[in-house]
Structure 1
Amino acid sequence: MELLSTEIKNNVITSMIFQLKENHDLLLEANKKDLEAFKKEDQAMYDRLIINDKKIAGMILALEEVKAQEDPVSKIINNKNLESGLKVVNKTAPFGTIMIIYESRPDVTVEATVLAFKANNKILLKGGKEAIHSNTAIVNLWHKALEDNNLDKSYIQLLNLNRNETQAFLKKPTEPLDLIVPRGGERLIQFVKEHAKCAVLVSGRGNNFLYVDKNNNWKKTIQVILNAKTDKISACNALDKILIDKNIPDYQVKLKELTSILKDSGVHVLVDEKAKKVLAEEPLIEDSSIWYQEFLEMKCCIGLVDSVPQAIRKINKYSGGHSASIMTTDDTSAKLFMEQVDCAAVYLNASTRFTDGGQMGVGAELAISTDKLHHRGPLGLKELVTNKYYVFGEGHVRS
């Protein structure tokens, strides 16, 4: 695949910024068709589907940020002159063709595309049928931006496939695929893993935990829990599970206070057997499999634990490997938790809602990776390249 200059890539991004500004109303009209067709049976998905002035401004900002970032391609990682006389240079290189499968969020169509394109990759976009009008409008604008700079539209392709067609495409793609990023829930991830024939980078599943240590600032704990749970329920960084150390002073009073505050905020609370002894009126968790679930709704589980190690074991067993937080004033507890919890992002006295490329200083992101290869956490521009060795000799042969 041809390597484009930074200037050409930035010119395309500039053209796309212009297209979004000029076609603001067209984009809103396209999104209106999607919203009218949506049945609102899934409030979280509906929230992600909406395009408004703020969302468009966010798209433009993402484009401007990526344009300003350093080109990640052909950067030297290592440069060695060996005793054999060979010169070995390891450089960053594009993946080639990236496919992203996602639901509902048209802003992903902008952000994923600009990141893949500036990293010199082709991108195939498989959005959900619920956002077809919005995604089509956005991709058409990208095509105009490409054509304005004399580039082929094949750099950015929207795939309008049903489930069976997607399955067939994954098994036998019409062009070589180098990486697939399924951005969604467990069912989507398993579907892609089952059928894909190339590398799959898992992202998007949350099921995030927060542990309240026996030593904590209770006022800050309440504030963090409310933000993590209620700020944006449709986000993969939202809080689902709360574990509370039963050795907290006056833990019964505080447990009742927390539950009351959550319920007043519209959160449906489920409790484990230990918490049920204090919160007798709250529904009991009947099936332990619920600890594996990502809710994406105003719902959470509360459980009691005896210690930091017990909280760590529970989180490592049930969480999605996305984000986990500890509320504590004890440095030893904090260190143990942050080192031993197996998540892409671990927090001390902070909301899980910060697991976001923009909030973590990465900039626009393709997704939040919960895989350990090739990258974990926000997939920003620098993470959308692989590497390539350049070996220079003078007729060298190995003896």
Structure 2
Amino acid sequence: MKIISTDIKNKVLSSMMQLLDSNRNSILTANKKDLELFNLEDQAMYDRLIVTDGKIDGMIASIKEVRSQEDPVSKTISTKLLENGLEINNRTSPFGTILIIYESRPDVTIEAAVLAFKANNKIFLKGGKEALHSNTVLVELWHQALEENGLSKNFIQQLILNREETQMFLKNPPEKLDLIVPRGGERLINFVKQHATCAVLVSGRGNNFLYIDEDANWEKSVKVILNAKTAKISACNALDKILISSQIENYEDKLKDLYNLLTINGVETLVDSDVSSLIKVANRIENPSVWKEEFLAMKCCLGSVESLEEAVEKINDNSGGHSATIMTTNKNSAMQFMEEVDCAAVYQNASTRFTDGGQMGVGAELAISTDKLHHRGPLGLKQLVTNKYYVFGDGQVRE
């Protein structure tokens, strides 16, 4: 794959920033068409679909931030000179061609493309049909930015395919695919894994947990819970499950206070049998599979555990591997929790809402990877490259 100079790539990004700013009306008009066709029953998806002037400002800011970052391509990872005279250089290299499949969020059309392009990859953008008009306008602006700087539109391409056509594309892509990133629920992920013929990097479901330890600061716990649960229900970093230690001081009073506070803030709270015995009015969890669900709604589960070990076990059995928090003043308990919980991001005394590229210092993100290869957590610019060994010799042969 031809390596584009950093200067040219940054000029494309500058052009795109200007085009977004000068075409606000076209973008908002296209988005209005998508919103008018959308079924309002799915509030979380509707929230992700909306584009405003503020969101356009955010798109421009994302491009500006990526433009300012160091080009991640052809960076030396390690160098070694062997006794036989061979010089071994391990350097970063583009993946090649990436396919991302996502729903609802037009801003992904900007963030995914800017990251892939700056890392010298081609990208296919397969957005959901609910954002067709918005995505089409944004991709057209990308094409204009590329052509203004003498580059082919093929670097950033939109796919408009139904389920059957997507299946055929995955099985027989028109060109070699090097990486597929499905951003969505388990049905989408399983569908892609079933039909793909290249590497699939999973941006898994949220279903994030928070454990209130017996040594927790109660005021901070309540503050963090309300932020993580209610600030943005459509985000994959929102809180869905709360576990509370039965050993905490004034356990019954705090449990009831928490339930009442969630109710006052509009959160439907399902409870396990132990909590139900103390809060008679609460809806009891009838099917344990609910512990594995990502709600994307003003809904959560509240359960009681007797120990940190029980909390860790329940989280590892049920979470999506995204984010988990422990509320505690005990540093040893916090470290045990953070070491043993199998999630991409683990927190002490902080909201899961921080699992985001921008908030974690990565910048714009392609996705939050819940895989362990090749990267886990926010997929930023530096994570959209692989590596290659450059071996320099002078006629050496292996004896």
TM above 0.5: yes
| Displaced runs of 4 or more, over 6 A | none
What is the CA-CA distance between 1:332 and the residue it aligns to? Answer: 1.4
Specify the alignment match of 1:34 in structure 2.
Answer: 34
Matches within 5 A, 1:332-371: 332-371=332-371
In structure 1, C-alpha distance between the alignment counterparts of 2:381 and 2:332, rounded to whole Å? 35
In structure 1, C-alpha distance between the alignment counterparts of 2:136 and 2:176, rounded to whole Å? 23
In structure 2, C-alpha distance between the alignment counterparts of 1:238 and 1:101, rounded to whole Å? 21
What is the CA-CA distance between 1:83 and the residue it aligns to? Answer: 0.6
Specify the alignment match of 1:240 in structure 2.
Answer: 240
In structure 2, C-alpha distance between the alignment counterparts of 1:39 and 1:392, rounded to whole Å? 60
What is the CA-CA distance between 1:396 and the residue it aligns to? Answer: 1.0
In structure 2, C-alpha distance between the alignment counterparts of 1:226 and 1:288, rounded to whole Å? 24
Identity %: 68
In structure 2, C-alpha distance between the alignment counterparts of 1:76 and 1:377, rounded to whole Å? 23
What is the CA-CA distance between 1:204 and the residue it aligns to? Answer: 4.1
In structure 2, C-alpha distance between the alignment counterparts of 1:6 and 1:245, rounded to whole Å? 53
* Structure 1 SS opposite 2:2: coil
* Structure 1 SS opposite 2:296: coil
- Alignment RMSD (CA, Å): 0.5
Opposite residue 323 of structure 1, the aligned amino acid is S
* Structure 2 SS opposite 1:32: helix
CA contact (8 A) 1:292 1:318 kept: yes
Opposite residue 154 of structure 2, the aligned amino acid is S
In structure 2, C-alpha distance between the alignment counterparts of 1:261 and 1:16, rounded to whole Å? 45
For the pair 1:66 / 2:30, whether they are aligned, the reply is no
Specify the alignment match of 2:104 in structure 1.
Answer: 104
Specify the alignment match of 2:282 in structure 1.
Answer: 282
Matches within 5 A, 1:292-371: 292-371=292-371
Matches within 5 A, 1:246-261: 246-261=246-261
Matches within 5 A, 1:13-52: 13-52=13-52
Deviations 1:222-249 (CA, angstroms, capped at 9, x unpaired): 0000000000000000000000000111
CA contact (8 A) 2:204 2:320 kept: no
The total of aligned residue pairs comes to 399
Deviations 1:182-231 (CA, angstroms, capped at 9, x unpaired): 01111111111111110000004100000000011100100000000000
What is the CA-CA distance between 1:395 and the residue it aligns to? Answer: 1.0
Deviations 1:280-324 (CA, angstroms, capped at 9, x unpaired): 111111111111110000000001000001000000110000000
Deviations 1:131-181 (CA, angstroms, capped at 9, x unpaired): 000000000000000000010000000000001110111111111000000
In structure 2, C-alpha distance between the alignment counterparts of 1:11 and 1:204, rounded to whole Å? 34
In structure 2, list runs of 5 or more residues that go unmatched: none
What is the CA-CA distance between 1:39 and the residue it aligns to? Answer: 1.2
TM-score by length of 1: 0.99
In structure 1, C-alpha distance between the alignment counterparts of 2:197 and 2:281, rounded to whole Å? 50
Opposite residue 21 of structure 1, the aligned amino acid is D
CA contact (8 A) 1:204 1:367 kept: no
Opposite residue 137 of structure 1, the aligned amino acid is V
In structure 1, C-alpha distance between the alignment counterparts of 2:149 and 2:332, rounded to whole Å? 56
CA contact (8 A) 1:269 1:301 kept: yes
* Structure 2 SS opposite 1:194: helix
Specify the alignment match of 1:130 in structure 2.
Answer: 130
Specify the alignment match of 1:146 in structure 2.
Answer: 146
Deviations 1:79-117 (CA, angstroms, capped at 9, x unpaired): 111011100100000000000000000000000000000
Deviations 1:358-395 (CA, angstroms, capped at 9, x unpaired): 00000000000000000000000000000000001111
Specify the alignment match of 1:386 in structure 2.
Answer: 386
In structure 2, C-alpha distance between the alignment counterparts of 1:195 and 1:24, rounded to whole Å? 38
CA contact (8 A) 2:98 2:121 kept: yes
Specify the alignment match of 2:291 in structure 1.
Answer: 291
Opposite residue 268 of structure 2, the aligned amino acid is H
In structure 1, C-alpha distance between the alignment counterparts of 2:265 and 2:22, rounded to whole Å? 40
* Structure 1 SS opposite 2:283: coil
* Structure 2 SS opposite 1:302: strand
Opposite residue 216 of structure 2, the aligned amino acid is N
Opposite residue 133 of structure 2, the aligned amino acid is H
What is the CA-CA distance between 1:70 and the residue it aligns to? Answer: 0.2
TM-score by length of 2: 0.99
In structure 2, C-alpha distance between the alignment counterparts of 1:38 and 1:235, rounded to whole Å? 19
Opposite residue 97 of structure 1, the aligned amino acid is T
CA contact (8 A) 2:323 2:344 kept: yes
Specify the alignment match of 1:7 in structure 2.
Answer: 7
* Structure 2 SS opposite 1:280: coil
Opposite residue 132 of structure 2, the aligned amino acid is I
